[in-house]
Amino acid sequence: MDFSKARTGFRDFIDSGGLHKPDDLAELQDAVETIPVTSADAERGFSTMNIIASPIRNRLSVERLSNVMFATLIGPPVESFNALPYVKKWLASAHRGAYDNQTRKRQPKEDLRYSHIHKIFA
């Protein structure tokens, strides 16, 4: 935000007795309107952070914690998320993790460990 532009706009506003709002104040007004009136949003954020980053799950990086908090606070509710297409894609791919791939190679082909999952999501 350009300080000199905002200062000039504010001086024009004062000189007009508050009757005329100059265009120079629009950017300043937008900035002021983004400030929350209460601390409820901050408290909600801290509460969410304490739930996500509990003593049991304390190895999250700051970036990962920030992403999870954003999805929790801003994202849609979990109930509205349809996981079926993603689960089908994951099951169809061979990338289920290094450990899973190693154990699958050692087993005979007749052992279909995920056959029950395919039946559920078919």
Q: Which two tokens stand for residue 37?
A: 């009136």
- For residues 103 and 117, membership in a common domain is answered with yes
How many separate domains does the chain show? 3
> Which residues does the chain have with pLDDT short of 50?
99, 110
- For residues 107 and 90, membership in a common domain is answered with yes
Query: What pLDDT score does 26 carry?
Result: 81
- For residues 75 and 88, membership in a common domain is answered with no
Query: What pLDDT score does 93 carry?
Result: 84
Q: Which two tokens stand for residue 2?
A: 């350009």
- For residues 76 and 89, membership in a common domain is answered with no
Q: Three-state DSSP class for 35?
A: coil
Query: What pLDDT score does 38 carry?
Result: 84
- Residue 107 CA to residue 95 CA, distance in Å, equals 17
| Domain span including residue 70 | 40-80
- For residues 52 and 70, membership in a common domain is answered with yes
- For residues 89 and 71, membership in a common domain is answered with no
Query: What pLDDT score does 119 carry?
Result: 55
- For residues 75 and 47, membership in a common domain is answered with yes
Query: What pLDDT score does 8 carry?
Result: 85
Query: What pLDDT score does 63 carry?
Result: 92
- Pick the closest to residue 50 from 62, 58, 39 (CA basis): 58
- Give yes or no for a contact between 17 and 36, defined as CB atoms under 8 angstroms apart: no
- Residue 64 CA to residue 10 CA, distance in Å, equals 42
Q: Which two tokens stand for residue 68?
A: 């999870």
